[in-house]
Amino acid sequence: MVRAIGLLLLVLLSVLPWRSAAGDERVEYFERNVRPQLLANCTHCHGAEQQESGLRLDSREALLAGGDRGPAIVPGDPEASLLLRVVRHAEEDLEMPPEEEPLAAEAIAQLAKWIAKGAIWPEHEATIGADTPVDRLEELRDSHWAFQPVGSPIPLEVGALVADRGDEGCEDDIDNDIDRFVVARLAAAGLKPGRRASRRTLVRRVYFDLLGLPPTPEEIDAFLADESDDAYPRLIDRLLARPEYGERWGRHWLDVVRYADTAGDASDYPVPEAYKYRNYVIDAFNADLPYDEFIRQQLAGDLLPAENDDERWNQVIATGYIAISRRIGVDPVGLRHVTIESTLDNLGKTFLGLTLGCARCHNHKFDPVSTADYYALYGIFDSSVYPHAGSEHAPYRRDFVYRVGKQQADEILRPYRERLAPWDKKERAKFNEYQALQGMKTDPKRKRSDVWAELEEIREQRRPYAEAFPDLEIAYAIAEGRPHDVHVQKAGEPKKQGELVRRGFLTVLGGASLPEGHQGSGRLELANWIADPENPLTVRVMANRVWHYHFGRGLVKSTSDFGMRGTPPTHPELLDYLSRYFIDNDWSVKALHRLIMNSRTYQLDSRDVAANSAVDPNNDLIWRANRQRLSAEQLRDSLLMFGDELDRTPGGRHPFPHRLTYFYRQHEPFVGNFPTRRRSVYLMQQRIQKNVFLDLFDGPDGNVEFAERKASTTTLQALFFMNSPFIHERARVIARRALDQADGTSARVRWAYETVFNRPPDDAEVARAEEFLASVAGQLDDSDKGRRESEMWAAYVRGMISSNEFLFID
């Protein structure tokens, strides 16, 4: 019987939709890695104006047609593609680029990968030499919806549009202005909203939505027993005041800003202080820090005034948003431009809903963002000091921010650094010796293993001097550097300099340049420009994010792309209404929650209405709630909570080794696993080695902006529920609670249902449970009755926690 239930689960999970690879990712790969190469190396001889050997390389069709020697590419087959052979200098009589050094190995590998993946080309662009949106900047600034000022739309009076639909299950009540906008759109399509969800369904939805945790049976009973008119709004207020709220909604923000506890370089060096930024975010949501101030603190907290040292230090920690930009390679210091690229890419998507990274090598091909705009922003961050967490070739951390200040910290640490310096010199000398030996086949005098053993011995001798450092409070944060403007990097290459660009902001949004000779990086001015209520993107992007997390889908589905390739809003007037409300209520995210959750639209039932589904099968017009699967964190935290195992104390520093003793390498990167029963937001999150559980259930990826979690359904998930020690142990603990909390099978089944499903079972369900338990008991050894009872209840609980009723929120 147990096996049958597991197989049934496997079948049920397998028939649900799989997550497909997004074409947008392949187009972005083209924009980042292929277009710059074609423009820099190919199209001047094989473009619109000149076609040597009859060959053009400025469109996919031209590449497929080829020239005198045939097609330039064979999509899906790099080795058969002439383009790849000539850039590898594999053709005796033909080498490209001619009379120049061959392309770098990395560049050739990128071309090969692009061809192997089908040589994807942007759908709406015939040739890469065509005019770009930058050439139509004024036209797009005046016409594209996202660049227009936020309006103050007035909702319609739509009472006459929502007559009772009786047998088709619709009601005619409207709770607030959100409903008026939604019902007006439905009425225009000849549709009407579905029923309101039951109070029991709604309380479960609200708890998971705001706290990421299910309600207890006692909390449900208390809400159902409260028949006052304001019972539901007061429930929302109570949950917004709980600390678990910040943990849930802080996790949403950490997804977007690609938070991680490691640097992401080839060795994935730990950053023990990263947790301070994580906790800052959680605290900011709990305190309902105004969103405009939240922006300013993360971009320029170190430059803001403060009333006391605690406030100053908290604002410094906030700049960890910039510091957590991903590092690349074995020497990230030498690839600083890639780190700044990570910052700009995330800044654009997170705050403005624009893919700024596409303008690094050339004018943006879809949005009116020029390369000059990109490097105007680049100069701001190049004028800032990023901390270095360590890497294989530069293992010693530097430029972290000390609470006591750099000067005082230097004075305190000077004697410790002086004692450590000779050992650092010995360690680097021995490491360089080992590196040199790696390039030799043989050396009769020295063995690599011997040199490595000597290196390890030096590191052990060095350790006491490193661990003796006083524990001064430090932050993984940003500081001001030497203010300067930068040159455009042609094709994204720092060594290929173009025009000098003054630091400033996006032209399409009226952004001005900083004054000549401006003293300061420009981060504070940038923060104020982004957080300005007149900036039409900032407020719309955040209002849409909040809507997205409540409904599982934004009014703008492309939550981090409000540009020309993004999806237009399904309800543009409603989006502007929410944005204006957000500003007028002091940028309060909690005020936005209250507005949205008190609407009838939020409280809709998720069940189908046939007449509506026939016209609007995707529910774009919002006539019902969208069922949402529990996130990885909600799933793990709920299972721990059911067994009374969840540790609700806030997380702090992870137990990393001492920060001055790291010597990780590309082939021996940091890998850590620090078990905890705290909430999942406090789990240590690496960039290279992902948390297996979170990754399996579509958890965040600290390498990229993760604005939308797309729930996949895979066989591995089903097998996890069937075989994972974690699931089996949680089921045993929950089963023991069931045995302790109630007497008799019927009462225990009721406890399990109310705990896991948040509802009581009916008589038929109790009967089936009794039948299942008896069947399992008959398959178990009856010599130990206590153990048999525990095991049969654990089997029953496993079935419950792997069911869709638990895994989905209606």
pLDDT of residue 303: 98
Query: 1 burial class (0-12, 13-18, 19+ CB within 10 angstroms)?
Result: middle
State the Cα–Cα distance between residues 398 and 406, nearest whole angstrom: 11
pLDDT of residue 112: 87
pLDDT digits 0-9 by tens, 655-704: 998 888 888 888 889 998 899 999 999 999 999 988 899 999 999 998 99
Q: Which residues pair with 474 in a beta bridge?
A: 402
State the Cα–Cα distance between residues 13 and 10, nearest whole angstrom: 5
State the Cα–Cα distance between residues 343 and 354, nearest whole angstrom: 13
pLDDT under 70: residue ranges of the chain: 1-24, 40, 43-44, 47-51, 92, 98-101, 123-132, 158-173, 439-444, 783-784
DSSP assignment of 16-73, as one string?
SPPPPPPHHHHHHHIIIIIHHHHHHHTTTTBSSS-BGGG---SSHHHHHH-BTTB-S-
pLDDT of residue 9: 35
pLDDT digits 0-9 by tens, 133-156: 777 777 777 889 999 999 999 988
Q: At 464, which amino acid appears? A: P
pLDDT of residue 503: 94
Q: In the chain, what's the furthest Cα-to-Cα distance?
A: 94
pLDDT digits 0-9 by tens, 426-471: 999 988 888 888 766 656 677 888 888 999 999 999 999 999 999 8
Answer for the pair 772, 800: CB distance below 8 angstroms, yes or no: no
pLDDT of residue 92: 66
pLDDT of residue 434: 87
pLDDT of residue 599: 96
pLDDT of residue 17: 32
What are the residue ranges of helices labelled H in 119-274?
137-143, 177-188, 199-211, 217-225, 231-240, 243-256
Which position has the token pair 């990109």?
A: 374
**Which residues have C-beta within 8 Å of that of residue 381, sequence separation ≥ 6?**
322, 340, 343, 344, 521, 523
Which position has the token pair 């995330």?
A: 346
pLDDT of residue 2: 39
